[in-house]
Structure 1
Amino acid sequence: MFGLTICFWRMVFMNGLFYMCILSPDVSPVRHATCIFFANGAALLNLFNVYNFTKRVEILDMLQLFIDYGEDEGSSICAKDTLADLVMKLGCYSSIILPLCLTILGATMSCEAPFVGAVLIDCSVQDGTHLLSKSILTLFDLWMNMFELTNAFWSVFIVLFPGIRFILDSLGYLVACDSAIISEDGKLYTWGRNDCGQLGHGDTKTKHKPTLVKHLSDYTIVNVAMGRGHTLFLTDYGAVYSCGSDKMGQLGQGTKGKDKLTPSKIDYTGKPIVRMACGADFSMIVDIGGGIWSFGSPEYGQLGHGTDGKLLEKANKISFVCEKSPRQITKFVEKNKQVATPITNVSIADVKCGTNHTIVLDDKSHVFTFGFAGYGRLGHAETKDEMVPRQVKQLENFRCVISKIAAGSTFCLAAATTKNLYFWGQTKSSGEATMYPKPVLDLSGWNINNIACANKSIMVVADDTVIAWGPSPTYGELCYGDGQNKSSTVPKEAKPLEGIQILDIACGFGHSLLIAKDLTPEDRERIAKLPRLP
Structure 2
Amino acid sequence: MEEEETRVEEAEERKEIWSWGAGTDGQLATGSLQDELTPRFIRSLSAYGPIVSLSCGGAHVIALTPGGRVLTWGRGTSGQLGHGETVSTSQANIVKQLEGFVITHISAGWNHSGFVSETGAIFTCGDGSFGQLGHADSSSQLYPRQVSYFASKPVEQVACGMRHTLVLLAGNVEKPVYGFGSGKRGQLGISTDKVKLTSLPQITMGLENIKITCIHANGDHSSALSADGSLYTWGRGFCGALDTYIPCLSDVDFPISKVALGWNHALLLSRQGYVFMLGGDRHGVLSDPPKTPSTADVRVTRAGKSEEIITRIIPGLANVKVVQIAAGAEHSAFITDNGSIMTWGWGEHGQLGLGDTNDQTAPQVVGLDRKSACGDAIPRVYCGSGFSFVLMTKI
TM-score band, normalised by shorter chain: 0.7 to 0.9
Tell me the alpha carbon deviations over residues 85-144 of structure 1, each in whole angstroms, 9 at most, x when there is no partner: xxxxxxxxxxxxxxxxxxxxxxxxxxxxx9955442323323459xxxxxxxxxxxxxxx
- 2:337 maps to 463
- 2:386 maps to 510
- For residue 178 of structure 2, the aligned residue among 293, 296, 299 is 293
- 2:40 maps to 156
- 2:260 maps to 406
Q: Report the CA distance shift for 1:195/1:272 in structure 2 as closer, same or farther (over 3 A).
A: same
- For residue 370 of structure 1, the aligned residue among 229, 234, 250 is 234
Q: Report the CA distance shift for 1:164/1:439 in structure 2 as closer, same or farther (over 3 A).
A: same
Q: Report the CA distance shift for 1:205/1:447 in structure 2 as closer, same or farther (over 3 A).
A: same
SS at match of 1:450: strand
- 1:81 maps to none
- For residue 21 of structure 2, the aligned residue among 124, 130, 141 is 124
Shift of 1:366: 1.0
Instruction: Verify the 8 A CA contact 2:22 2:351 in the aligned structure 1.
Output: no
SS at match of 1:495: coil
Shift of 1:485: 6.7
- Give, in whole Å, the separation in 2 of the partners of 1:326 and 1:364: 27
From the two aligned structures, give the one with the greater strand fraction: 2
Q: How does 1:399-478 map to 2 (within 5 A)?
A: 400-429=254-283, 431=287, 435-478=309-352
Shift of 1:438: 1.6
- For residue 142 of structure 2, the aligned residue among 241, 261, 264 is 261
Please report the TM-score for the alignment, with normalisation by the length of structure 1: 0.61
- 1:317 maps to none
SS at match of 1:330: coil
- Give, in whole Å, the separation in 2 of the partners of 1:518 and 1:190: 23
Instruction: Give the letter aligned to residue 306 of structure 1.
Output: S
Instruction: Verify the 8 A CA contact 1:457 1:468 in the aligned structure 2.
Output: no
- 2:55 maps to 169
- The yes-or-no answer on 1:283 pairing with 2:165 is yes
Shift of 1:241: 0.3
- 1:492 maps to 364
Tell me the alpha carbon deviations over residues 178-231 of structure 1, each in whole angstroms, 9 at most, x when there is no partner: 011122322111000011000000000111111111111111112211111110
Shift of 1:518: 4.4
- 1:352 maps to 216
SS at match of 1:169: strand
Q: How does 1:22-421 map to 2 (within 5 A)?
A: 116=11, 118-128=15-25, 152-159=36-43, 160-161=45-46, 162-170=48-56, 175-256=57-138, 258-266=139-147, 267-289=149-171, 291-307=176-192, 309-310=194-195, 320=196, 322-332=197-207, 345-373=209-237, 375-376=238-239, 383-393=241-251, 395-396=252-253, 400-421=254-275
Instruction: Verify the 8 A CA contact 2:132 2:180 in the aligned structure 1.
Output: yes
SS at match of 2:38: coil
- 1:101 maps to none
Shift of 1:158: 3.5
Instruction: Verify the 8 A CA contact 2:264 2:282 in the aligned structure 1.
Output: no
Instruction: Give the letter aligned to residue 185 of structure 2.
Output: Y
Shift of 1:308: 5.6
- Give, in whole Å, the separation in 1 of the partners of 2:198 and 2:128: 11
SS at match of 2:368: helix
Shift of 1:369: 0.7
Q: Report the CA distance shift for 1:494/1:128 in structure 2 as closer, same or farther (over 3 A).
A: closer
Shift of 1:469: 2.6
Alpha-carbon RMSD: 2.6
Q: Report the CA distance shift for 1:215/1:207 in structure 2 as closer, same or farther (over 3 A).
A: same
Q: Report the CA distance shift for 1:233/1:503 in structure 2 as closer, same or farther (over 3 A).
A: same
- Give, in whole Å, the separation in 2 of the partners of 1:432 and 1:306: 34
- Give, in whole Å, the separation in 1 of the partners of 2:255 and 2:126: 37
Shift of 1:507: 1.3
Shift of 1:346: 1.6
- Give, in whole Å, the separation in 2 of the partners of 1:429 and 1:513: 20
Shift of 1:261: 0.5
Q: Report the CA distance shift for 1:202/1:329 in structure 2 as closer, same or farther (over 3 A).
A: same
Instruction: Give the letter aligned to residue 269 of structure 1.
Output: A
From the two aligned structures, give the one with the greater helix fraction: 1
Please report the TM-score for the alignment, with normalisation by the length of structure 2: 0.81
Q: Report the CA distance shift for 1:461/1:295 in structure 2 as closer, same or farther (over 3 A).
A: same
Q: Report the CA distance shift for 1:254/1:517 in structure 2 as closer, same or farther (over 3 A).
A: same
- Give, in whole Å, the separation in 2 of the partners of 1:355 and 1:426: 14
Residue range with higher mean Cα deviation, 278-287 or 423-432: 423-432
Q: Report the CA distance shift for 1:293/1:153 in structure 2 as closer, same or farther (over 3 A).
A: same
Decide which structure has the larger Cα Rg and report it. Answer: 1
Shift of 1:416: 0.9
Q: Which stretches in structure 2 are left out of the alignment for 5+ residues?
A: 1-7, 27-31, 290-294, 296-308
Instruction: Give the letter aligned to residue 389 of structure 2.
Output: L
SS at match of 2:137: coil
- Give, in whole Å, the separation in 1 of the partners of 2:111 and 2:247: 25
SS at match of 1:392: strand
Q: Report the CA distance shift for 1:450/1:360 in structure 2 as closer, same or farther (over 3 A).
A: same
SS at match of 2:127: strand
SS at match of 2:312: strand
Instruction: Give the letter aligned to residue 222 of structure 2.
Output: T
Instruction: Verify the 8 A CA contact 1:202 1:261 in the aligned structure 2.
Output: yes
- Between Structure 1 and Structure 2, how many residues are aligned? 350
Instruction: Verify the 8 A CA contact 1:371 1:385 in the aligned structure 2.
Output: yes
Shift of 1:427: 5.0
- 2:299 maps to none
SS at match of 1:215: helix
- Give, in whole Å, the separation in 1 of the partners of 2:183 and 2:152: 22
